[in-house]
Structure 1
Amino acid sequence: MGLCIFAAPEIVVGTVLVLGVVVVALAIEAELDAYASKRKPTSKSPPDPKQNPQPLVPTDPHPADYAEWRERCTDHYIKCTGYFAGMKEPRVYGESLCQSCSRVCRRTGRWPTEFSGHPCPGG
């Protein structure tokens, strides 16, 4: 099938544009299929909706105990910041790692061993 040299230029340009769009669409479809075949299924199974998770219930300390907690947590916080002296301290949720660990300590009365996958030094 030949192309007539007397065909209107707008028809030729339109045909080229349509063919280009079809080629690009086929290329995108092929890439999406390749991506879908490479994706690995997640190994985590969804949680059982019938099971109620155990909520973290912070203890309600007596005011005297809370003062002791605060003092203990402050000591651990100072050790933690001393550990990172001269180094860049990791950030967790917009605050320093030592601040995050201190916040947990003040709620529970114990310096945590880790927070969000990062070890809490100073404990």
Structure 2
Amino acid sequence: MSRKVFILALPILFSFIFIGFALSQDRGRGYGGFLERLKQELNLTPEQVTKIQKILDSAQKQAEIDREKYQGNREAMMKAMRERWEKIDKEIEAVLTKEQKKKYEAIKKERQERMREWRGRPS
């Protein structure tokens, strides 16, 4: 009997391990992928990279605080995330040139579209 339970429970255990691993990888990455994209698409200078890295590091710390603060409150978490992205966008735009800002607008629109799709809302 216990062997049957073990065999039945094994796939569930592996699922939890996989989900935990995936979540930890995503949290560890933070905004790093976003910075890499900005470097490539906006042709950032080393000085701009340094400034934007500081902006994103600060945002990552705030995201961790918000995750703890709003645990279980999805609506409050989403509101905090929107406000954080508004702040990130303003701070990044202050670092960019006029031409880079135009390209950044396209990146923001794409991000917003992905969020709408993720939430299951039509555009």
Provide the TM-score with structure 1 as the length reference: 0.31
Bigger-Rg structure (1/2): 1
Structure having the larger proportion of residues in helix: 2
Provide the TM-score with structure 2 as the length reference: 0.31
Structure having the larger proportion of residues in strand: 1
